[in-house]
Amino acid sequence: MSDQAYSPRFLEGAIYATQQRRYLMDIGFLVSIMVMMLSLIPAPLAVPALSDLGHPATLMGLLLFGIWVLSRMHPRLVTRGPQPMRWIIGFFFTTILASYAAGLMRGMPTLEDNGAVRFIIGTLAFFGAVLAVADGVPRKERVEGLIRVMLVGGSIIGFIGIMQSVMQFDITAYIQIPGLVYHGNLNGLEARGAGHLRVNGTTGHYIEFSTVMAMLLPFAVHMGRFSPTRAMRQWSAIAGAIMFLALPMALSRTGIVALAVAMLVMIPAWNWRLRFNLVVPTVVLMIMLIFAMPGLLGTILGLFQGWEDDASVQGRAEDWDLIEEQGWMDGHWLFGRGHGTFIPTEYTWLDSQWLQSLVGGGVIGVVALALVHLGAITLAAIAYKRSTSLADRHLCACLISVQMLAIAVGFTFDSMGFRTYAMFLGVLTGAAAVMWRLTRPTRAPELPPHPTVPLPPLFTPRPKPRVSA
């Protein structure tokens, strides 16, 4: 028999874990470093010569993308087996290049060309987060480890936001890191409502801050329910409480809508006991928030009243009409004007990711972004159906809620233009692909045929004696 028949991948019958011979570096560790960079380093801090693309988390995302590309070139590093997320990201990248070519044919000024190149570089960092997790995380335990790190980062961001609200000044302005400088100005704290200030933690905007908090809350519930030790479950509950308290301090409608969408997706995955166990601490936390910050609840409720007179709501609605009135999309509906070329200072601000994708990439660009979300939802849903344990099914439901949240908030702000949100989304999109891969049924490979060796006869006939004439 051939020596190949005794290969561990034939004996084990697995598709991914055994066919990938060695893991020369822990991708999960590098992704965890990127998550902590996003959480601890304020968004405007960056390497001086690289402007806002020089944020350490963006550079780490580019490094992850480079590692993934190199891994595809070596048989000892590549992860064998199908992975639909690779094809989705490949199609997305192709549409970006097509929109850039369309912009060149249109004739882009230097300012727009620089914006297009910056968009491509930033998107490669997002791709690095998605693909590194999708192909580089070998086990479900490592997925849960990444989620715990993200909860640590989210609780840090939320705690800084709470301190900003309580102390009434932006403490991130005092964070100084050698080798990094502030690119542009900090948003600071913006007054909104009855004497309350909007906070953003270490993120780039108040809306981004609240959206990240809403994105991570279902995972806090997951780890608080399924962590292996009591200490980890208690810590997850504390992290969830911090993020829940921090979310309304951003005074953002988008954050409230994002939380509502996430909860609507998660409620069917919870039993009645869990729903009751979540309602009680939620009510307690809201009462604490009302007494600690009087008038905050009224301010939040006021955000959802008088929309017909709200300038921000009307501005978002008018953007769609403005694009058509100005003729900016004439002749560019298929491939767009070029991603990153619609400079706000030259044209106007577009507070909608879907509208930005339409202007930059045309109908093809919108389809590509939708495929990322819908593809991740499909992969997580398939993994949900395949999973046999309650913990795996709950984790898949959390991953579905992230993509539904992303689709919803894409109509309220240019979400992919904010680093912390985009990179967190990239990690969780890759996690959906991992759950699909790890729950994929294994198919035993065909063994090579046994060598056919002729057997000796049972009886050897004696030669007949020769008779002489």
Of the ranges 43-47, 304-308, 329-333, 448-452, the best mean pLDDT one: 43-47
**Would you say 282 and 220 are in contact if contact means Cβ atoms under 8 Å apart?**
no
First to last CA, the chain: 53
Strand partners, 198: 190
* Residue 237 one-letter amino acid: A
Q: How would residue 18 be classed by pLDDT, with cut points 50, 70 and 90?
A: very low
Question: What pLDDT is recorded for position 117?
Answer: 92
Number of structural domains the chain divides into: 1
User: Given this model, what pLDDT does residue 6 score?
Assistant: 43
In a domain, 112, yes or no: yes
- Measured CA to CA, the distance from residue 358 to residue 356 in angstroms comes to 5
Contact 151, 220 (CB under 8 A): yes
Using CA atoms, how far apart are residues 230 and 211, in angstroms rounded to an integer? 28
Q: Does 263 fall in a domain?
A: yes
pLDDT digits (tens, 9 = 90+) for 40-63: 999 889 998 888 889 999 999 999
Burial per residue of 380-399, b for 16 or more beta-carbon CB atoms within 10 angstroms, e otherwise: bbbbbebbeeeebbbbbbbb
pLDDT of residue 467: 61
Average confidence score pLDDT of the chain: 83
DSSP 8-state symbol, 464: P
Residue whose token pair is 């009243």:
305
* pLDDT number for residue 333: 87
Q: Select the highest-mean-pLDDT range: 138-142, 355-359, 399-403.
A: 399-403
**Among 233, 227, 231, 214, which Cα is nearest to 158's?**
214
Q: What is the pLDDT of residues 292-322, one digit of tens each?
A: 666 666 666 665 666 566 666 666 667 777 7
- The model's confidence at residue 171, banded by pLDDT at 50, 70 and 90, is confident
pLDDT digits (tens, 9 = 90+) for 73-114: 876 666 667 889 999 999 999 999 999 998 888 888 888 888
Read off the pLDDT of each residue in 209-225 and give the average, rounded to a whole number.
94
Cα-based torsion angle of the residue sequence 398, 401, 403, 404 in order, rounded to the nearest 10 degrees: 170
Q: Cα–Cα distance between 31 and 67 in angstroms, integer?
A: 12
Contacts of 62 (CB under 8 A, 6+ apart): 121, 124, 125, 128
Token digits of residue 249: 């301090």
Q: Tell me the residue length of the chain.
A: 469
Q: Is residue 362 a contact partner of residue 335, using CB atoms and an 8 Å limit?
A: yes
**Span 206-224, mean pLDDT?**
94
Query: At 271, which amino acid appears?
Result: N
Residue 460 lies in a domain: no
Grade residue 331 by pLDDT with cuts at 50, 70 and 90.
Answer: confident
The pLDDT assigned to 8 comes to 42
**Mean pLDDT (whole number) for 210-229:** 94
- DSSP class of residue 43 equals T
pLDDT of residue 328: 75
Q: Position of tokens 């980890």?
A: 232
17: pLDDT confidence band, cut at 50, 70 and 90?
Answer: very low
11 is a domain residue = no
Q: What is the DSSP letter of 49?
A: G
Amino acid, single-letter form, for residue 353 = Q
In this prediction, residue 127 has a pLDDT band, given cuts at 50, 70 and 90, of very high
Q: Is residue 71 part of a domain?
A: yes
- In this predicted structure, what is the pLDDT of residue 304? 61
Q: Flag whether pLDDT at 370 surpasses 90.
A: yes
Give the pLDDT score at 219: 96
- 456 lies in a domain? no
From 13-22, 65-74, 266-275, 400-409, the region with the lowest mean pLDDT: 13-22
Q: Which of 74, 287, 44 minimizes the C-alpha distance to 185?
A: 44
- State how far Cα 127 lies from the chain centre: 10
- The pLDDT value recorded for residue 295 is 62
Q: Residue 466 pLDDT > 90, yes or no?
A: no
Highest mean pLDDT among 24-28, 73-77, 330-334: 330-334
In a domain, 451, yes or no: no
| All residues at 6 or more sequence positions from 257 whose CB lies less than 8 Å from its CB, including other chains | 408, 409, 412
Is there a domain that residue 428 lies in? yes
H helical segments located in 137-205: 140-167
Tell me the residue type at 194. A
The answer for residues whose C-beta is within 8 angstroms of residue 357's C-beta and 6 or more apart is 339, 365, 366, 368, 369
Summarised one tens digit per residue, pLDDT across range 261-276 is 999 999 888 888 888 8
pLDDT at 428: 96
Q: What whole-number distance in Å separates Cα of residue 28 and Cα of residue 49?
A: 29
Checking if the pLDDT of 3 tops 90, the result is: no
Domain range for 118 is 18-304+323-438
The pLDDT value recorded for residue 193 is 60
What predicted TM-score, i.e. pTM, was given to this entire model? 0.85
How far is residue 66's CA from residue 250's CA, in Å, rounded to a whole number? 36
The radius of gyration computed from the CA coordinates of the chain, to the nearest angstrom, equals 27
Q: What average pLDDT does this structure show over 375-401?
A: 95
Using left for φ > 0, alpha for ψ between -120 and 50, and beta otherwise, residue 148 falls in alpha
Residue 382 three-state SS: helix
